[in-house]
Amino acid sequence: VDDGSGLPNSVEWVAGSIRLLDQRTLPGTVTYLDITTVGGLCDAIESLAVRGAPALGAAGAFGVAMVASQFGDQASVRSEAERIASARPTAVNLRWGVDIALAAYERGGGHAALAAAQQLAAADIAANRAIGEHGLAVIPRREGGARVLTHCNAGHLATVGYGTAIGIVRAGFDAGLVAHVYVDETRPLLQGARLTAWECRALGIPATLIIDSAAGSHMARGLVDMVVVGADRIAANGDVANKIGTYSLAVLARYHHVPFVVAAPMSTVDAATASGADIEIEDRPGDEVRGVGSAATAPEAMTVSNPAFDVTPADLVTTIVTELGAFTPNELARHLVS
Amino acid sequence: VDDGSGLPNSVEWVAGSIRLLDQRTLPGTVTYLDITTVGGLCDAIESLAVRGAPALGAAGAFGVAMVASQFGDQASVRSEAERIASARPTAVNLRWGVDIALAAYERGGGHAALAAAQQLAAADIAANRAIGEHGLAVIPRREGGARVLTHCNAGHLATVGYGTAIGIVRAGFDAGLVAHVYVDETRPLLQGARLTAWECRALGIPATLIIDSAAGSHMARGLVDMVVVGADRIAANGDVANKIGTYSLAVLARYHHVPFVVAAPMSTVDAATASGADIEIEDRPGDEVRGVGSAATAPEAMTVSNPAFDVTPADLVTTIVTELGAFTPNELARHLVS
């Protein structure tokens, strides 16, 4: 299963190992990591070689399939699976992917775990295509096409393929509804500049890169018709945890009367998390902010606050698009209860 | 004249040349540039070896003094002065400094130009100290001291000495009213990370560095009591042009009911500019966004929008603090007319 873009899937199972499109070396070099150990997988997750909530779900599921092929006893499989699920605390999809493959393993062994992981990966691409289709309805109609702003990378690379937020952009571009993408560079790790910009070029979608703090003035100049982002976790009340900077965009979008759209598969919705206040926010190393790559840009001992995510309250979110349709946060919350 | 911090002044006249504290090599190395030609001065201004509206005013004035010492005829002095004044379009202080020294030259020759420049530099430090004193009244009173967020560098380095926004922080810290500073790193050129962080450490003021897009979530968490920034130009109606990202902060501050304070000498107020719509915004090279220093972080040919400044409408500004006092934008506008 591929997403039709010509790009290799971000997460694939290749002869007993997990092949990841290494997101750390983009856009300079396209390299692949063949993962054969749990330690290697946890390193890849922690160092963001694989990232993005849906891609992490697939990586977690394939991780359990790999563990099941290596360990004979159920206790080891379970504890290794837990190691994988804990590698990043905020992305609920990672644990979800692990849980699905682990349940399949406990019912039917290693073959069942692998089959579940394969199905999860294929279903991810299908869900993202559905998100793209449902998203068409929320793109503001504008002569010549809408100008859409996005943050971080919720594209092909953040998923097994096709993308969530960028899935809507792709579907909208193909339908003539989207003309242009503004890409926030997304400090500190520059997923927008490195990954989303690269994807837009690979897909032939006109795009302009801006620094994160320029989003507001581009909105004020009337250049942005819609903001669309992914999500790392959506609480039961519709609060959205996503890459740091998402919350600022939501406030800016509200102020400028620009629709603020979240695109995510239902696996991102965590019914067990009542609201954003219950979401653990990962703090990442200060060196990510004290420099870029290996270059230091701030005084060595400078104190840093580096939360990886922020929480956007449901009342700032116009629409949440999932594979089941486009919902207001309230409608999505009711959907969970019913 | 110095500002009492122990730091060398950012712009000084040394035996016929202009000595600049080179802002491009900080925080790694403290180096000085001795400028002896107009070409060298324009390069230093364009490459941001010297930057910050008040520092540019002094650099412009000393530039005319240097020109007057090198050229015998008035026509050459005038045309060289115009070259200096045009090196950066948004900062009104640069032209103001040039004009003051040029007027002195036309009245009294090279000696008069130098005396005017020296006086302007000394007056800058005095004005910034006055801004700091007037700013004390606008710092929110909080048990243990206020937490202040700033953007870019409106400190010692952006002025001849003492700073404008950081002048208020300094005065507030010395008075026990300011406890902590959040420093936006300020992409693309990282003046916050490189310069403001360095200054806060040099001054012993507790400070935490954050990425620009984390300002909103820090406000949402109740960690920010006031935003204070400098200005590159203030229009007659109180609209403020300042480093890109300032506008977003102003919108976020409004949303979170946090006072948004602009600190600038009266020389930054341009009565000839009716409103922000009349301010020319400098577009800077895309490579500043496609990379950091010499490291590329985005696809090579990526399209970039890189405005150096944005305009914050007067209605988002709580207070403008100048050497004459603390004003609402409306009061400042009336002050100009009277």
pLDDT tens digit string along B97-133?
Answer: 999 999 999 999 999 999 999 999 999 999 999 999 9
Give catalytic residues of B, as residue numbers.
232
The whole-number pLDDT of residue A161 equals 95
Q: How confident is the model at residue B275 (pLDDT cuts 50, 70, 90)?
A: very high
B126 close to B162: Cβ distance less than 8 angstroms: no
pLDDT of amino acid A338: 56
Can you tell me the distance from the alpha carbon of A311 to that of A294, in angstroms, rounded to the nearest whole number?
A: 29
B196: Cβ–Cβ under 8 A, 6 or more apart, which residues?
Answer: B150, B152, B153, B155, B166, B181, B183, B186, B207
Interface contact B129, partner A, CB < 8 A: no
- From CA B169, how far away is CA B290, in angstroms rounded? 33
Best of A217, A219, A246, A255 to disrupt the B interface (most B CBs within 10 Å) is A217
Q: How many residues does chain A have?
A: 338
Sign of CA dihedral B159, B150, A213, B193: positive
Give yes or no for A188 touching B (CB within 8 A).
Answer: yes
Average pLDDT rounded to a whole number, residues B187-192:
95
Residue A148: pLDDT above 90?
yes
| 8 A C-beta contact, residue A270 and residue A151 | no
A182 touches B: beta carbon within 8 Å: yes
* Partners of residue A199 in chain B, C-beta under 8 Å: none
pTM: 0.94
Task: Find, in chain B, the residue whose alpha carbon is nearest to that of A288.
Answer: B211
pLDDT above 80 (res A91): no
Q: How many angstroms separate the CA atoms of A291 and A285, rounded?
A: 11
B234 touches chain A (CB under 8 A): no
Residue (of A195, A144, A135, A187) closest to A308 by Cα position: A187
Residue A294 has pLDDT above 80, yes or no: no
Mean pLDDT (chain B, rounded): 95
A208 Cα to chain B: minimum distance (Å) = 5
Closest of B201, B215, B333 to residue B276, by C-alpha: B333
Q: How confident is the model over A175-194, as a mean pLDDT? A: 97
Q: Which residue has the higher pLDDT, B90 or B275?
A: B275
Instruction: Give the closest-approach CA distance of B239 to chain A in angstroms.
Output: 14
Check if A290 contacts B (Cβ < 8 Å): yes
Q: What confidence score (pLDDT) does residue A19 get?
A: 97
Phi, psi angle pair for B135, to nearest 5°: -70, -20
Check if the beta carbon of residue B105 is closer than 8 Å to that of residue B114: no
End-to-end Cα distance, chain B: 33
Parallel, antiparallel, or unpaired for β B32-35 and B17-21? antiparallel
Higher pLDDT, B133 or A293: B133
Q: What does each C-alpha distance from A264 to A54, B32, B131, B175 come to in angstroms?
A: 8, 52, 49, 50
Query: CB neighbours of B221 closer than 8 A, spacing ≥ 6?
Result: none
* A283 and B256 Cβ atoms separated by less than 8 Å: no
Which residue of A197, A210, A301 is in closest CB contact with B299? A197
Q: Which of A198, A212, A297 sits opposite B193 (nearest CB)?
A: A297
pLDDT mean over A223-240: 96
B215 to A248: CB separation less than 8 angstroms, yes or no = yes
Q: How many Cβ atoms are within 10 Å of B94's Cβ, its own excluded?
A: 27
**Confidence (pLDDT) at B294:** 74
Q: Which of B198, B209, B306 sits opposite A304 (nearest CB)?
A: B209
The label of the residue with tokens 């009277």 reads B338
Do B158 and B53 touch, CB atoms closer than 8 A? Answer: yes
> What's at A95, amino acid-wise?
R
| Residue A31, CA distances (Å) to A16, A26, A27, A34, A54 in order | 19, 8, 10, 10, 20
Q: H/E/C letters for each residue in chain A?
A: CCCCCCCCCCEEEECCEEEEECCCCCCCCCCEEEECCHHHHHHHHHCCCCCCHHHHHHHHHHHHHHHHHHCCCHHHHHHHHHHHHCCCCCCHHHHHHHHHHHHHHHHHHHHHHHHHHHHHHHHHHHHHHHHHHHHHHHCCCCCCCEEEEECCCCCHHHCCCCCCHHHHHHHHHHCCCEEEEEEECCCCCCHHHHHHHHHHHHHCCCEEEECHHHHHHHHHCCCCCEEEECCCEEECCCCEEEECCHHHHHHHHHHCCCCEEEECCHHHEECCCCCHHHCCCCECCCHHHHEECCEECCCCCCCECCECEEEECHHHCCEEEECCEEECHHHHHHHHHC
Calculate mean pLDDT across residues A133-156: 98
Verify whether the Cβ–Cβ distance A187 to B190 is below 8 Å.
no
Nearest Cα residue in chain A from B186: A213
- In chain B, which residue's Cα lies nearest the Cα of A186? B213
Percentage of chain A beyond pLDDT 90 is 89
* Cross-chain residue pair A193–B311, CB shorter than 8 Å: no
Among residues of chain B, what percentage have pLDDT more than 70? 99
pLDDT for B112 equals: 97
d(CA B330, CA A37): 65
- Copy the structure tokens of residue A256: 């400028």
Residue B338's pLDDT is what?
A: 56
Contact predicate B239/B281, CB 8 Å: no
Instruction: Name the token pair of A146.
Output: 């809408």
Is A207 in Cβ contact with B305 (below 8 Å)? no
Q: Nearest chain B Cα to A183, which residue?
A: B304
Touching check for B28 and chain A: CB below 8 Å? yes
| Rounded CA separation B295/A219 (Å) | 29
Helix crossing, A53-70 with A92-135: angle to 10°? 130
| Least trusted range by pLDDT, from A6-10, B59-63, B206-210, B286-290 | A6-10
CB contact under 8 A, A201 and B310: no
CA distance A193 to A184: 7
Looking at this protein, which amino acid is placed at residue B276?
A: G
Are residues A216 and B310, on separate chains, in Cβ contact within 8 Å? yes
Q: Which of B182, B187, B254 has its CB closest to that of A212?
A: B187
Percentage of chain A exceeding pLDDT 70: 99
Q: How far is the C-alpha of B319 from the C-alpha of A198, rounded, in Å?
A: 43
For residue A27, whether the previous peptide bond is cis, meaning omega lies within 30 degrees of 0, is yes
Bridge partners, B296 (sequence order):
B291
- CB of B258 closer than 8 Å to CB of B138: no
pLDDT (tens digit per residue) in B307-316: 999 999 999 9
From the list B208, B292, B299, the residue facing A305 with the nearest CB is B208
A211 contact B CB<8A: yes
Asked whether A156 and A162 are in contact (CB, 8 A), the reply is: yes
CB atoms within 10 A of CB A89: 17
The bridge status of strand A226-229 relative to strand A260-263 is parallel
Beta-carbon count within 10 A of B87 CB: 22
- Encode pLDDT of A109-123 as tens digits: 999 999 999 999 999
Interface test with A, best of B147, B152, B248 (most A CBs within 10 A): B248
Nearest CB to B208 within list A197, A216, A304 = A304
Partner residues linked to A248 by β-bridges:
none
Q: How many CB pairs under 8 A join A and B?
A: 189
Check if A232 is active-site.
yes
Total number of residues shown for chain B = 338
Identify the CA nearest to A131 among candidates A181, A175, A165. Answer: A165
A244 interaction partners in chain B (CB closer than 8 Å): 211, 213-214, 217
Cβ proximity of A45 and A56 under 8 Å: yes
Q: What is the ipTM of this complex?
A: 0.93
Q: CA B228, CA B242: separation in Å to the nearest integer?
A: 12
Catalytic residue among A22, A184, A212, A232: A232
How far is residue B159's CA from residue B125's CA, in Å, rounded to a whole number? 8
CA nearest B160: which of B91, B86, B59, B42? B59
Least CA distance to A284: which residue of chain B? B210
B335: its two tokens: 């002050």
pLDDT surpassing 60 at residue A232: yes
Option in B201, B213, B290 nearest A213 (CB): B213
Examine the pLDDT at B293 and tell me if it is beyond 90.
no
Task: Answer whether residue B296 shows pLDDT above 90.
Answer: no
φ, ψ of residue B321 to 5 degrees: the values are -100, 120
pLDDT above 70 (res A131)? yes
**Mean pLDDT value of segment B166-179:** 98
Pairwise CA distance, residues A202 & B122, whole Å: 56
What's at A324, amino acid-wise?
L
Token pair of B211 as six digits? 């990425």
| B171 min Cα distance to partner chain A (Å) | 22
To the nearest whole Å, the CA of B115 is away from the closest chain A CA by 37
Residue A296's pLDDT band, with cuts at 50, 70 and 90, is confident
- Greater confidence (B171 vs A295) lies with B171
**pLDDT more than 90, % of chain B:** 89
Residue whose C-alpha is closest to residue A205's, from A260, A168, A242: A168
